[in-house]
Structure 1
Amino acid sequence: MELHLDHYMGYTYATSSAHEWLSVIASAELHHLQVLTLSDCNLAGSIGTSLLNLSSLSHLDLSDNDITHFPQQMFHLPNLKVLDLSSNSHLTGSLPEFPPGTALQQLILTDTNYTGRIPHSIGNLKQLTHLDVGNCSFFGPLPHSFSNLGKLAVLDISRNNFEGEIPFSFSKLSRLEGLDMSSNRFVGPLPSLKASRKTIARIDLSSNKFSGPIPSSYANNDLPNLTHLHLSNNQLNGTIPPSLFTLPSLQVLGLSNNQIQGKMPDWLCNNLEYLDLSNNSLVGFEDPFSNHSTSSLEFLDLSSNHFEGSLPIFPSSLGFLYLSSNHFEGSLPIFPSSLETLDLSSNHFEGSLPNFPKGMDIISLSKNKFTGAIPLTICNSNWSRIDLSHNQISGEIPSCLFNGIMDRYPISVVDLSKNKLQGMIPDTFGSECLLEGLNLNGNQLEGPLPRSLVNCRGLSVLDLGNNQIDDTFPFWLEHLESLQVLMLQSNKFHGPIRRRHVANSSFESLHILSLSANSFTGHLPLEYFPSLYLKGMYENDDHQTSHSAMSDVTYTFLMFPNKGQALEYSSVQIPVLNAIDLSSNLFDGEIPTSIGDYKSLMSLNLSHNSLVGKIPSSLVNLRQLESLDLSNNDLMGEIPSELTSLTFLSVLNVSRNHLIGMIPNGRQFDTFPSSSFEGNSRLCGIQLQIDCNPKKSGNVVPPSDHANQSNGANFDWIFAVAGYGSGLVVGVVIEHFVLCRNRYYLEKFTNTIRFFQGKRPLRVRSLRRRRN
């Protein structure tokens, strides 16, 4: 007798008591019931012991519910062969001891919160063919008794906290077809699979700490059924056994993020569809595609190695090609029409940009030596992302590029920064513009901002810094509800930033604003940016708690000055930085006391203006502030002693003002260098080695020449941010684009979910200071 109630309550959108439902079933005198499936029935809560009455039960499926407890006695039902409790994320417990003779053949606990060690008595499940405990909370070493599981065909223990070396007894498992031990803490050499070499089809040992060379037993031709081999993200070394690429059935091979050396093989088997050798130390690149006419290769990632030379002709089947961060050079070949994604960033390619296949979706050619104009044929493809940054491309931006940003050509990110582009930004953004990020920083663009940008309602990041754009402040951008980063620094913007009325919806999502090195005048315009007013992810005074959120959000890319260095995070996330830079303008008047209401600020730069009055003590309310620059103004009075309570303040500069009195002592103020305070003739304190009581000590307070105040240091700010709504990636890189760097902080793009990779480490470089 069988009872199948899968999805029975799936359309009610209400949970039901698991205990009550199963009690009803158990009390119905269904003594001969053998199969009971209640998958995805919105069952919630604890499972009682009533099911123990179903002594004939052989198959129990309670997957995809919200069950919280399952009695251990149920594992011992005399005839139970299949138990599926998977996808009950709140289900807790541990495995019981299994007595000899237990009938279980399939035990599936995937995506539950089962914990503890695998008991040694697991070896008593001699009928077990399928054990799946992936994405649970098990820990500890694996028991040697696994060798008793002679019928085991599928073993998935991935995404747990298992550790230690794989027991030698695993080599006795002769019927394994699928083995997944990924994302644990295993160490030592790769496990031997000699006994199952005739049956094994899938092996995933990625994301552990396995070391040593790849065993020759993984590459012998006597693995006739092996189709998938994942060894990425370990500490493997040595060379790749040449015979690995000749396995007759191999379709997927992942060896990325190891320490493998040697040369790329000069021949690949025809069945290979996916090959990832990225982030190793491979050299040489002889043409491995001599048999490309019959090749099945769709995905190739050789990025972050030491390959050099020119590119070969790639197989016609190729759809995704990643060759970034190598030493390739020369001109580009003709790419296959099937190509969708191309990343050649950080190489030594040169010459003019080629014509690309019409079906391409994503392209990154950043950090090469390409010259000439952007070809008009770039408008013929269905792009979603274009990155041509950090080259020597000249000429004007084709007007058709932005005209096509609509449903038919949904470009989300365009990065043309750090080139030699001239002329005006085309005013051709259509009414259905889907652009999310635009970076034109570091060119020679001029004229006013194109008013049609307002049509890009999903725009999240706009970086037009370091050009020659001549315009007033673009208040008309205020209704772009997704705009998080606005960078207009080092242009020819001018005039006051004011309006008759402050709009409540003005720049409501803005996190980063940089208007430095322009000719803005008037009072500080802080009231026009209410998104930074009592908002942001750091409203909580607990700085430690706030910063922990940085690891929870996905996709961040930002650089900001901190302790004299620029910290670069290579990924794209919801913003973790709230910053304002209004330096090097013509702002005057006092710093408003309302600045203390901008509690989410982490960085504030008002230097090189004509600000007067006192430093407001309300700055003490900026509990998250890490960088404060008020230098080269006409500020007077004393430095508020309350600022010593800003314990996360790591950069302070109040030099070249008219400040007087004693510099506050204590906490981080004792660590700031004298350059933070110099150029204030009436300041004294230990930081300047000037005694504040010269009559007692005999020291004389030296005068300071204030005539050179116009020369001072400015921070070079570089920011980029993306991520809006439910995980939407909208990043534009400033100083570095998300596609031009290693993709490991990034998805391998929309169409390569199955080929998802890891992350690239944080890169730190010195922060440059410049003189005006």
Structure 2
Amino acid sequence: MGSSLYLYSLLLLCCFFHLIILSNSSSSPPPLCHEDESSALLEFKHSFFINKSASSDPLAYPKVESWRLEGKSNDCCSWDGVECDHHTGHVIGLDLSSSFLYGSFNSNSSLFNLVHLRGINLADNDFNYSQIPSKIAHLSSLRSLNLSYSLFYGQIPSEISNLSKLVFLDLSGGWYFSDLLNLEKPNLEDLLKNLTKLKVVDLSWVNISSTVTSDLSNMSLLTTLRLQGCGLYGKFPTSIFRLPNLQFLNVEDNENLTGCLPEFHRTSPLKALGIARTNFFGMLPDSIGNLESLSILALNECNFSGMLPASLGNLAQLTILHLGTNHFWGKIPSSLSNLTQLTYLHLGNNNFDVGARSLILGKLSKLSFIDLEGMKIHGDIPQSLANMTQLSYLSLRSNELLGQIPSWLMNATQLIALDLSHNQLQGTIPSSISQLEHLEYFNFADNNLIGKVKIDIFLKLLNLNSFYLSGNKLTVLSKNSTNTTLPKIMALGLLSCNLREFPDFLRFQDELRIVFLGDNNIHGQIPTWFCNTSKETMEVLALPYNFLTGFEQHLDVIPWQSLKVLELSFNRMQGSLPIPSPSLIYYGFSDNLLTGEIPPSFCQHYSTRVLDLSNNNLSGTIPQCLANFSDSLLVLNLSYNNFHGTIPQIFMNGNQLKLIDLSQNQLRGQVPRSLENCTMLEILVIGNNQIDDTFPFWLGALPQLKVLVLRSNSFHGAIGNHKTNLMFPMLHIIDLSHNGFSGNLPSDYFHNWNAMKMAKTETWTYMQEASESLIAGTWTVPLVYNYSVTLANKGTQRLYEHIQTAFVVLDLSNNKFKGDIPESLGSLSGLQVLNISNNNLTGVIPSSLANLTDLESLDLSQNQLSGEIPQQLTQLTFLEFLNVSHNHLAGPIPHGNQFDTFENSSYYENSGLCGNPLSKLCGNSRSSPPPPSLSFQSDDSKFPSGVDWIVIFMGLGSGLIVGLVIGQALTTRYHEWFVMTFGKGNQTQRRKKGRRN
């Protein structure tokens, strides 16, 4: 008993002492960081500058400022961003993300002396395009490495693959940092194959440019895989979708990456799936409803098709559903109304069969973002939107909506953006719109809205920064305003709004970026106060199709310092040419009354991409200094002026020109040989001048040249084979008419003009060039150039507003060609217009012309052709126009198909022809005299020729579409496009305005 008590007492005593030891141990201070590691950190700090532009996070601050060896800060474990091991005092973590660090990252950086580091986060700094040092491999304990958004550059070092303990790897950048880092040697699989413990991989916007192999499906621990914008191509392995722990997968913005969605199992842990802007295709599998944890599904801008499976309604956790811009069709399943957690819904630009009443959204009360653009929704604005009190963004743009803008829509008091443009809405704009006090953007353009609208009702919306009323039947009234409590407007669209003056409220705006006031009735001069408006912020100013005569205060230089687009075409602007601002990208001054020369000071600004001074009264010579624009200029249009002298040698090596139009001037001399440097050129028009030269065969070396117009000059000589391979590989429209070319028709070219042998397709695509986007404030404006051309077709001059990529024209008329029509002409099987009239051609019409099965217009008139009209030509079932008049043809006129539709004028002055429609019967010498000629002889002085072009700016953020027209277009063509882009316009005004010829 006693011994037991003793043992028990001894045990209690031991326990007591043990507790004391533990207590003393737990209360003892952690060890200080090691001196060598403090020194290494300080050396790392002093190798960089603090620059507030080096980080973009609004919460960024310079963490290293707390790093110093004095006072209470002598322990580096207490410094911002530094983590130490509590037992050893070694630095194990470094988080300097968003710390304003700027400078080059040295390969001998003291950072690599911190060999105990387990985590490094240097994201959102600026390391000035340094390479990631291979010495990173010395940090063998690393579990987490984040170098994202920090302007590292070059090849990712293969040594990273030796960091076998890595769990987290992020080397990503944004789209504006794309292609800074490369992953070539090692490739993706080689980099990751040894990193078997990885759970998170983010290489977004790293230039990988390779296929993705199924090796990645062996990384069974992966929870996150982000490969957005990496230039991936080939077929994406479906096995990766089935990784057992994968929760987040993003392969968006890989446009050449293809694949299909697999069958999904209920055990899949996927929470977010992003495949947007790839080439994935096929139908959505019904098994997608098994992804019960999915909260984000982004499949927009792919090639998916078919009907949406009803099983989508099973995704009870879904908050974001983006299926826009695909090829889905059929009914939208009613089960989507089960997605009660949905906050973001985008179904726009598909082929759904949607009636306003069948669109059931009423249960989705949490929706804050709805985009149903381009879904062909017909009927009234869906009533199911009435109860969506959380709605902040609503786009019903480009549908078939009728009726009025409902007053109940103004109950959505949280609306920030509202887009109802491009529909058929009628009635007036509800004055209650002024109740939407949070509204920042609205677009009602291109509807059938009527009535007088006081602009004051919109100015009550103090958060408003952008609004568009263009293209309705509205009359916008603007009374004198004061500077009290006006919203700060940044973007304004009032095209075709019957304005008679500049809206007065603009006097008090100092943050305007985009202003469209075209196609109105604004007369007189641009007031001085408007020129003083938003001088520092204005980026896009479009005032075309008014009656403006000049600037109230004489301007030598455009006053807006940041202006990128100035469109003043189709006005009555007089005087000399204003000097553009240095930032100007697009300068549109066509169809005015400008006089004088282009001054040398005009050429001091080198950023201009589009220069259109066509259809004015400018004179002098084309200045040599335009060569200054050679690095930037895409379009040069100086047509319809009075320029004289020779075309200067201004086309330097490396120029970017796509279109050159110098037609309808008084230019002489030869075609400048420096055009050989225009390797990007697609359109060349120098017609209607006084050029005296032989055929510029050397232009055949230009690899992109598609349209060549040399008509109405003094070209001469034969067009023969110059024993070269310069054969115009892409040419499909050539107009050499009204010159002095002689010799035989160029049969060698006919053999080699391969682009003219392509038959037209059912898909109508047009010649255009999409340039990089224009950034105007927060708006991104893609620039698209649509080409047009004026040609002789079917006996008349015709303006082709859009040139189909398969449109093929050969016009060699009104020259001095002689000899036979070569059989090789029949090899140009894509020809739609063939005109070799008014020459000295002899021989017969070759039956090979029957091979031109797409031919719509054939003019062989005014030659010396003999023999019969080949019966085989009746096979030309698209032929609408035929003229073989004024030849020596004989025999019966063929019958059948299109030949039964042609009248006497097609055959006039061929005394040997007989049969319908002529009154002369075959085999009967008695005949009535031929009727008067109805053949058309064009008067070139009455018709503009050459290529016109249009620049369309589309998509100013949030689905906004605006546009600009530039060029040598006829008034009618210009106005029709203007209506399409900006609004329905003022028909009376259109009739009053005309193009000067």
**Same-fold call, TM cutoff 0.5:** yes
Instruction: Give the equivalent residue in structure 1 for 2:592.
Output: 368
| Alpha-carbon contact 1:462-1:487 (below 8 Å) kept | yes
In structure 2, the partner of 1:15 is: 212
Residue number in structure 1 paired with 2:249: 61
Contact residue 346 and residue 368 of structure 1 kept, 8 A: yes
- Per the TM alignment, residue 374 of structure 1 is displaced from its structure 2 partner at its CA by 3.7
Q: Does 1:570 align with 2:801?
A: yes
Residue 322 of structure 1 pairs with residue 510 of structure 2? no
Q: Quick check: which has more Rg, 1 or 2?
A: 2
Residue 898 of structure 2 is aligned with which of 662, 665, 668?
668
Q: C-alpha separation between the residues in 2 aligned to 1:559 and 1:759?
A: 25
Does 2:556 correspond to 1:342?
A: no
Match of 2:723 among 499, 502, 507: 502
Specify the alignment match of 1:656 in structure 2.
886
Question: 1:672, CA displacement in angstroms?
Answer: 1.2
Q: Equivalent residue for 2:661?
A: 439
2:838 alignment partner AA: H
> What does residue 298 of structure 1 align with?
513
Deviations 1:370-389 (A, max 9, x none): 44444444323332111122
Q: Give distance in 2, aligned partners of 1:178 and 1:127.
A: 17
Structure-2 change in CA distance of 1:258 and 1:694 (3 Å): same
Counterpart of 2:814 in structure 1 is 584
**Which residue in 2 is equivalent to 1:158?**
348
Structure 1 residues 521 and 240, CA, compared in 2 at 3 Å: closer, same or farther? Answer: same
1:357 to 575, 578, 581: 581
Q: Which amino acid aligns with 2:263?
A: P
Task: Specify the alignment match of 1:521 in structure 2.
Answer: 742
Cα distance per residue 1:72-94 (max 9 Å; x no partner):
5x3x4497654556556435334
3-state SS, counterpart of residue 842 of structure 2:
strand
For the pair 1:700 / 2:927, whether they are aligned, the reply is: yes
1:613 aligns with 2:843: yes
Distance in structure 2 (CA, Å) of the matches to 1:78 and 1:473: 69
Structure-2 residue corresponding to 1:682: 912
Deviates more, 1:439-448 or 1:43-52: 43-52
Q: Deviations over 1:90-143 (max 9, x none)?
A: 353346499999554434443455555556676665543222222344334445
Q: Does 1:557 align with 2:788?
A: yes
The change in CA–CA distance for 1:376 and 1:87 in structure 2 (over 3 A counts) is closer
Deviations 1:630-663 (A, max 9, x none): 1111112211222112222222111011111111
Are 1:232 and 2:456 counterparts? no
* Partner residue, 1:753: none
Where does the alignment leave 5 or more consecutive residues of structure 1 unmatched? 541-545, 724-730, 749-756, 761-772
Q: Does the 8 Å contact 1:258/1:279 carry over to 2?
A: yes
Q: Deviations over 1:150-202 (max 9, x none)?
A: 432111112222211155753554332221111212122234545444x4332
Instruction: Pick the aligned partner of 1:177 from 368, 383, 387.
Output: 368
The aligned amino acid for 1:71 is E
The answer on whether the counterparts of 2:501 and 2:523 sit within 8 Å (CA) in structure 1 is no
Match of 1:209 among 400, 414, 417: 400
Shift of 1:417: 1.7
Question: Do the aligned partners of residues 385 and 515 (structure 1) sit closer, same or farther apart at CA in structure 2, a change above 3 Å counting?
Answer: same
1:399 aligns with 2:623: yes
Looking at structure 2, the residues matched to 736 and 444 of structure 1 have their Cα atoms a distance apart, in angstroms, of: 21
Instruction: Report the TM-score, using the length of structure 2 for normalisation.
Output: 0.62
Q: How many angstroms apart in 1 are the aligned matches of 2:579 and 2:303?
A: 52
C-alpha distance in structure 2 between counterparts of 1:341 and 1:50, whole Å: 46
Query: Is 2:640–2:663's contact at 8 Å kept on the other side of the alignment?
Result: yes
Which amino acid in structure 2 is aligned with residue 330 of structure 1? T
2: CA distance between counterparts of 1:127 and 1:745? 44
Contact kept? 2:600, 2:623, Cα under 8 Å: no
Letter paired with 1:279: G
Q: Is the contact between residue 70 and residue 93 of structure 1 (CA under 8 Å) also seen in structure 2? A: no
Q: Is residue 484–residue 721 contact of structure 1 (8 Å, CA) maintained in 2?
A: no
Describe the shift of the 1:84–1:4 C-alpha distance in structure 2 as closer, same or farther (beyond 3 A): same
Matched, 1:539 2:758: yes
| Structure 1 match to 2:296 | 106
Residue identity opposite 1:315 in structure 2: S
Residue 611 of structure 2 is matched in structure 1 by: 386
- Aligned pair partner of 1:488 in 710, 713, 728: 710
Partner residue of 2:947 out of 702, 706, 720? 720
CA contact (8 A) 2:414 2:438 kept: yes
Q: Which residue of 1 aligns with 2:921?
A: 691
Deviation at 1:538, TM superposition (A): 4.3
SS of 2:378's partner is strand
Cα deviation 1:565-592 (Å, max 9, x = unaligned):
666443466x422222221122222222
User: Could you tell me how far apart the structure 2 residues matched to 1:743 and 1:357 are?
Assistant: 28
Q: Using a 3 Å threshold, how does the CA distance of structure 1 residues 320 and 530 change in structure 2: closer, same or farther?
A: farther
The separation in 2 between residues aligned to 1:429 and 1:42, in whole angstroms, is 37
Tell me, yes or no, if the aligned pair for 1:186 and 1:209 is still in contact at 8 Å. yes
Percentage of pairs with the same residue: 35
* SS of corresponding position for 1:660: strand
SS in 1 for 2:580: coil
**Farther-moved stretch of structure 1 (549-558 vs 686-695):** 549-558
How many residue pairs get matched?
Answer: 709
Residues 461, 721 of structure 1: 8 Å contact kept: no
Which residue in the other structure is 1:3 paired with? Answer: 199
Alpha-carbon offset, residue 691 of structure 1: 0.6
d(CA) in 1 for partners of 2:521, 2:866? 57
- Is 2:282 the counterpart of 1:92? yes
Shift in CA distance, 416/738, structure 1 to aligned 2, threshold 3 Å: farther
Report the Cα distance in structure 2 between the residues aligned to 1:502 and 1:165, rounded to whole angstroms.
Answer: 66
Structure 2, gaps ≥5 residues long: 1-166, 168-197, 474-496, 553-557, 769-785, 951-964, 986-997
Which amino acid counterpart does residue 210 of structure 1 have in structure 2? L
1:619 & 1:171 partners in 2: Cα distance?
64
Residue 628 (1) aligns with residue 848 (2): no
CA distance in 2, matches of 1:60, 1:371: 63
Q: Deviations over 1:47-73 (max 9, x none)?
A: 479959x5xx6935364464424225x
Q: 1:259 aligns with which of 428, 434, 448?
A: 448
Cα gap change, 1:379 to 1:207, in 2 (>3 Å) = same
1:14 partner amino acid: T
Which amino acid in the other structure matches residue 156 of structure 1? H
Measure, in 2, the Cα distance between the counterparts of 1:276 and 1:319.
17
The 2-side partners of 1:106 and 1:621 are apart by 56
Whether the 8 Å contact between 2:377 and 2:399 is mirrored in structure 1 is: yes
Distance in 2, matches of 1:315 and 1:109, equals: 41
Alpha-carbon distance change, 383 to 340 in structure 1, aligned in 2, over 3 angstroms: same
Query: Contact (CA 8 Å) 2:766, 2:802: kept in 1 or not?
Result: no
